[in-house]
Structures are given as C-alpha cells and as structure tokens.
Amino acid sequence: MRSTVPLAALAASAMVFILTGCGGAPSGDELSYEDSPLNEYLSAAWGGDLSPEEQQKKMEEQQAKVEALVAQCMADEGFEYTPNTDSGTIMSDGGEWEPDKREWVEKYGYGYVNSPFAEQVEENPAEETTDPNGEYVMSLSESEQTAFYETLYGPTPSEEEMSEDGSYEYNWEEAGCQGWAQHELEGDDPTQSEEFSELRTKIEELYSTTQDSPELADLNAEWASCMADKGEPGFTKQMDAGQSIMDEQNKIYEAAFGDGSEPVDPESADFEDPNESPEMKALTEREIELALVDLECREKTSFTKKSLEIQFAIEEKFIAANKADLDAFKAAAEQSK
C-alpha cells in the first residue's frame, strides 16, 4: 500500500507555489501567502500558527518519538540502536527571503546559488554532531553493516523502481524501521487518518493542477513576452526561470560527484569543490542577471498580485465544494494539539 501525502506536505507545496512560482510574498497592502483561504485550514495541521520557536520544539518532540520507535524496531530485528534526537534542522521565520526587493535580488538572484541561508549558517554555525550509532556500526562486519542500514532504511530502490530524474515512489512498508516509525507516529495524528485520505488526495490534485489553469497560463504568457522583449526568450512559465538555474547547478554538482553509483571522496587531493569552480561562479552571475530581468517583468505584469488572486480564487472554489470535510479536518487538527 502506498502512503498518502501528509497535509503538512501539501501545505508546504502550496507555499512553494506561492513563494517560488509567484516570486515571493509581497509587502505593503498587497496580497501575501498569509491571505490564502486554505491557510486557515491547513495551518492547523502543519503548525503555521506557531512561532519558529514553537515549531522547533514541536519538531524536536516528534523527532524524539520517531527515534524511540526506530530503536524499538531495530531491537526487535536484533540490532542495537541509539536514538538520534538531533534533527539538525533549525526553524527560521524566513525574514531573510525577499525576492521581490531589488536590493535582495541584486545580491542573491533567486537565492539558489548564493543563498542567504548559507550566510546565516556561516555566521551561526551549528555545533558539530556525531552519529550516536557510528561506533556500533563500525564494529560490525561489512555484511552486517549492509543488513543494519537495510533494516533501518529499507533496501536501495532498484533501477526499475527509479524514475529518470532519480526519484521513486515512496512506500513506508519498504522503508525499514524509519518508515515504520514515521507511519506509526502518523497513525496517532487524526489528520493523517483514513477519514481524510480523500481530502488529502483532492488537495494534492488542487496544487498540482493550478499551474495549468487558463488564467495563470495567460498571465505566464504575458510575463514570457516581457522576458523575450528583454532578451530572455524560451521560458513559458515564471517558475521556469528559477528552475533553469537549479538545473544548471545540479549539472555542476553531478559533474563533481557523479550519479551516486560510485563513492567520491571530497577530502582527496584531486577533488575540486564544485562550489568554488569557475562554472559555479559564472552561474552566480547568470542567476542575478536572469533574476533581475524576471523581477522587472513580474513588476510590469503585476505577476505576484495577479497570481495570488488566481490561486486564492481557485482555493475559494475548492473550499466551497469541500467545506464540510475541511471543517472536520480543522477540528480534528485543533483537538489533537
């Protein structure tokens, strides 16, 4: 049985559409993602109503519960396992992300190659962490180590299971003790119950099809025409511009690290750091150049405002058609806190 997509992930995908596809939340009296009609319902599940500190605490508590279940599962399979409660993730209020401001774009472009979050990490480096199971794993034979990781994470997907882009369909039943633990924890969450499985599917379809709406297609065409007039032809959707930078960045990393079929030692003398390569430096300049033109065309077409209006109108129709289920979901989410 394939797992359904958690509503928290669906809410996150909605924010990706709004923040990335539409160029970021605007300032002033204009619309922002916080005005999303569906946000009222989905934030009850994914913690959008919590402060970064509260989200951090909630995430750490969930991590501790998952790891305790993983340890139980591994012990049942004959392995020692020390829970790793350090998620390595720090929640941020996102105040550094300002892709609608020219000064920010002039420095970061889309924020992909030269990320403001990377600077934040450099200024506030996290304490070095160690795998609490590292010493135990090293004491095992090579075959035992393989069995340990397969028990923990499940077997590596075969070539037949992998898609052309390297992704594969996740199935918790084939994801080892980690998959089992996550599924067990989600089972305690009423928003992940079978009762809301149809709603989760509908929301997933909503966000996957919004980009194909006729209204957004017309707006994207207007934006693309502006880009072509300014010497940047070839894009059909606004989100494709930023995606082109990520695609080039991935190519640079793949050239340095390969496709993962053979190990690469970054500490070896002949290894060249892709982040310091001439290609990455050139891409940094290209990203800023492209993002500035993109910003000009977003401003000229009022892309952020109009795209949010289109998104929210689609959400309003969805809410009208599914209000009873959404109200029930919100109530369940609030009662589970």
For 257-288, what is each residue's pLDDT tens digit? 887 667 788 888 888 999 999 999 999 999 99
pLDDT at res. 20: 43
| 320 neighbors 206 (Cβ within 8 angstroms) | no
Mean pLDDT for the chain overall: 83
Mean pLDDT calculated for residue range 227-243: 97
Distance CA 192, CA 201 (A): 12
Helix axes 197-209, 7-16, angle to 10 degrees: 10
Please say if the pLDDT value at position 37 is more than 70. Answer: yes
* Lowest pLDDT segment from 86-95, 110-119, 167-176, 218-227: 86-95
Q: Say whether 91 sits in a helix, a strand or coil.
A: coil
The more confidently predicted of residues 185 and 327 is 327
Please say if the pLDDT value at position 182 is more than 80. Answer: yes
| 240 neighbors 297 (Cβ within 8 angstroms) | no
Q: Is the dihedral of CA 193, 194, 197, 198 positive or negative?
A: negative
Say how far residue 232 (Cα) sits from the centre of its chain.
27
CA dihedral 316, 320, 322, 328 (to 10 degrees): 90
The more confidently predicted of residues 258 and 298 is 298
pTM beyond 0.75, yes or no: no
Residue 194, φ and ψ in degrees, nearest 5 = -60, -25
pLDDT at res. 47: 61
Question: How many CB atoms are located within 10 Å of the residue 288 CB?
Answer: 18
Please say if the pLDDT value at position 2 is more than 50. Answer: no
Which single residue is written with the structure tokens 């590596």?
Answer: 156
Q: Select from 23, 8, 201 the least CA-distant residue to 110.
A: 23
The more confidently predicted of residues 305 and 91 is 305
Q: How confident is the model at residue 16 (pLDDT cuts 50, 70, 90)?
A: very low
Mean pLDDT calculated for residue range 26-31: 54
The more confidently predicted of residues 93 and 332 is 332
Mean pLDDT calculated for residue range 219-228: 98
pLDDT at res. 12: 44
